[in-house]
A and B are shown apart, each in its own frame.
Chain A
Amino acid sequence: MKVFITSMLTIDLDSERWECGSCGHDIGNARDNYKKGLLVRDRDPSEIHAPILDAEKYDFTFAPDADWCRILEYCCPNCGHLAEVEYLPPGHPPAHDIDLDIDALKAQWAKREPLSAPVLGPDFVAPPHSH
């Protein structure tokens, strides 16, 4: 049974493995940090949030300061889809951000029906128009 943990990461409860939500590539042990099975790239933040004001003329340009902030991009080694983006001060250890109790997860889902797609939740329904 597969559980959709994020829009780009699933856990196969039977094999206890993280998988890419896009291509199904095996990412690693579900009891470990999923990031260990992904590829990482350090980006200068202005490559993403480019200056809107002329960087030749101004100190503050809408682009983050690279001495303060770097952007780590985590992608699937097979299909290249982004699974996570992390903003950090230069050199700061990345977070083990999702650390689930797999035994509890298996027990929880033993009582649930398997899903073929993530449940997005209730949609917004506009109230009826009236005067």
Chain B
Amino acid sequence: MGDDMDIGGAPSSAVQDFLKETSLYLAPDPEIMNNHGLEPRTAYEDQCIGKEGDPVRLEIVRERILAGVNESYEMLENMGAAPGAKWGDCVSAVYTASGDLSLASSGGVVIFCNLVQYPIKFVNKYWSGDPTVGINEGDVFIVNDARYGQAHNTDQSMMMPVFHEGRIIAWAGATVHEGENGAIEPGGMPSLAEQIWDEGLKMSPFKVAENYKLRRDLVTFLQNSVREPKLQYADMKVKMYVCRRIETRIHEAIAEYGVEAVVAALRMNLEDTDAEVRRRLLEWPDGTTRHAWWTDGTLRENVQIKINLELTKKGDELTFDYRGSSPEFTNRSNNSLDITVKGMLAQLFLTFIWPDIPRNQGVLAPMKFVFDTPSVLKPSFGTPNAQSMMTVFTAWSAGQVCAMKFLYSNPNKYTRVLAPWFNMINTFLFGGLTQHGEMVGNVCADINGMGGGALADRDGEHGCSPIFATMSDIGEQEFIEEEMPFIQIVSKKMMRDNQGFGRQRGGMGYQMVLAMRDSPAFGFMLTAMGAKFPNIPGLFGGYGCPTYPLARVSGVDVFEILKTDPGSFRYSIEELMNDRPFKDAKYSTHPMTLGYTLASRGELYMISQGTGGGFGDPLDRKPEDVIRDLDEDLITHDVAWRVYRVVYDNETLHVDEQATEEAREIMRRERIAKSKPFDAFCKEWVKDKPNGKVPYYGSWDDRSMVHTGSPDTLQPAAQINPPVVMAHPLQVKIDRLEAELAACRKQQG
């Protein structure tokens, strides 16, 4: 198990040998990249397991090594120079000699280390026997090109072989979301990337250290390729020493328990996880759940992009079938690699469904994945993917919804059923010169402030954590302001009515009101979907999140206003935009897809983090819970009545229970009166194609056929010809203006 279902047979060994000897370019190897399952048990692993098979002893060894990995993760988080490292957007891990992820640190981002299996396997396959490279004790390899195995190019991983008596017995790895990587825009996640070469560094796996020393010639080359040379060097050192700490702890475990026990523990951890996941899947009902969702843009233009999932569980296997999703966008960065989808789904199971399962790749071994190839979730080799979050997070949420519809009936749960977590990176990226004269480019830790989904018996948690790292931090604003030339004038303040309504409501997102100061050249960018179509739904009658705009106030310096007329300032997006307190300022709203834009001192950039989905019918929400939200200024009186139908005294907030129940019963009767039976409804509602008001990409009613922008362009999935190529937004604007100009001239004669 593990191979993708759409991969053909492997060529014969003679052909493989010929290709190996004559290859001009070692691109990512499909044999490696298409297999998310476990490598076969090696003869040496078999020998070690034969000698050390006691599960209790192996568990002791496993915990011993995990303690070392967790120690290394603490090092990474505390020593890492990248903002992402400081706030938990990193991970460290141990891999088997074959490259399978066996033990990830208890904190950190599972997807990162899940994907490092691929470059390790590449190094094993191509560099171990290559006389110009080789693998020796003290070597360290580095990678950031997602196509060889990373979540996206802004992450960098380093990998160190762990030797014992001349044999590789494991690999140590460390990954950090570094941010800056020399891409066309600062910060490492370029929306403007139209080609893969716009995405910055393209490190295939290569050796960057020998005898535990970084090669300064290579480090200098990498520093010379990015906007933050100090960061590049600092974190390469940090990641190398994190790997070395893991190596030390493994050597200590070998000294205490013997090498056989260590090798057997790492291998059995994978096999035991695979077996336990299969046992748990047997507890789920057999069948299929389906969920489609739509993102509303490429980051360059607003278009409707379908992510289609059919999840089938049969026996002890689970199949994620994403066919019918949108075609790839060949000159946009919102495509996601299939390995990224798989890695994110490992995170779904290891943190949201079975958080007690050891964090390794064995969790995906009983799972199959089906994609249209190419498509937006499995693009061609040359298609950009730097902003994969724009589609992979939607694919992840579709998986979460489908899984929850299997889980609810299962009496043997290992955590609770959860409405969808908020899933989009509603945060600012920044770049430019700081007040200290340094060039920077990175992302705010508010990326980690996504609202949690509601549970069956509990509201979701506000600004809790991102879907990709359940144990992370949103950072101290004052700490950030010491280093960066911008201030969050309103920070971590909940956005009123930004709620996933339900019997239990979603955890809410907070607002961010930023203004730049103290820099001659500094700018912001935003890379988030969801200004027209919400990012997540609710569950079982609960509602999803609203949509999220960028709000701007320009032509003003609020720092001067705060000096001269502080009383005029408003401390919420709602009041600043609706009251318009600054005369002569310009107020505007936009999708959250701002390309890198230089900021003027004191103008306002404002967004809100998102809310998790609600769970159950809002009319079943306890009136006292509604009043508590009202009292905490999380909702308005309008929502308390319009959505929750609670009757209370506006001054004392005392609930009239009887009047509330009567009002709710009237609303239920209104629902019945205004609704239609499903079949009759569908006769009126269902159309045979999109309405044409919005450019549409993906299947409609038949997943084998996909639209490529208009209701009337329908082509077989994965056979799109010509491929989807988007026009430059500025050219679109110029064409429109020229057409208007021509029309005016014609009118004037």
Contacts and interface: CB of A to CB of B under 8 A. Distances in A.
B292 to A, nearest CB: 6
Given A5-B408, A98-B405, 14 more contacts: A6-B405, A8-B541, A39-B675, A52-B546, A54-B577, A58-B551, A60-B547, A60-B589, A60-B591, A87-B544, A99-B290, A108-B285, A118-B408, A120-B456
Interface in A43-85: 45, 48-50, 52-54, 57-65, 67-69, 71-75, 77, 79-85
B574 A120 contact: no
B18 interface: no
A4 B408 contact: yes
Interface of A: 3-8, 33, 35-42, 45, 48-50, 52-54, 57-65, 67-69, 71-75, 77, 79-87, 89-101, 104-105, 108, 112, 115, 118-123
A82 B286 contact: no
Nearest to B551: A53
Contacts of A60: 531-532, 547, 549-551, 589-591
Interface of B: 285-294, 296, 304, 314, 405, 408-417, 455-457, 495-498, 501, 503, 531-534, 537-538, 540-551, 573-574, 577-578, 587-591, 608, 615-620, 638-639, 642-643, 667-669, 671-672, 674-679, 681-682, 685-687, 690-691, 693-694, 696, 700-701
Do most interface residues of chain A lie in helix, strand or loop, or is the interface mixed?
loop
B287 A85 contact: no
8 contacts: A33-B678, A40-B685, A53-B551, A61-B589, A105-B287, A108-B285, A120-B417, A120-B457
Contacts of B675: 39-41, 73, 75
Contacts of B416: 120-123
B287 A99 contact: yes
Nearest to A75: B671
B532 A69 contact: yes
B534 A69 contact: yes
B290 A62 contact: no
A65 B532 CA distance: 5
Nearest to A38: B678
A65 B617 CA distance: 23
B682 A93 contact: yes
Given A8-B541, A54-B577, A87-B544, A3 B678 contact: no
B577 A36 contact: no
Given A41-B676, A62-B547, A121-B417, A95 B533 contact: no
Contact of A96 (B290, B314, B548, B669): B290
Contacts of B608: 62
B617 A42 contact: no
Contact of A6 (B408, B578, B639): B408
A62 B611 CA distance: 12
A118 B410 CA distance: 9
A35 B620 CA distance: 21
A57 B587 CA distance: 9
A44 B340 CA distance: 34
Contacts of B294: 68-69, 89
Contacts of A59: 589
Given A40-B676, A81-B668, A89 B287 contact: no
Given A52-B497, A60-B549, A60-B591, A104 B534 contact: no
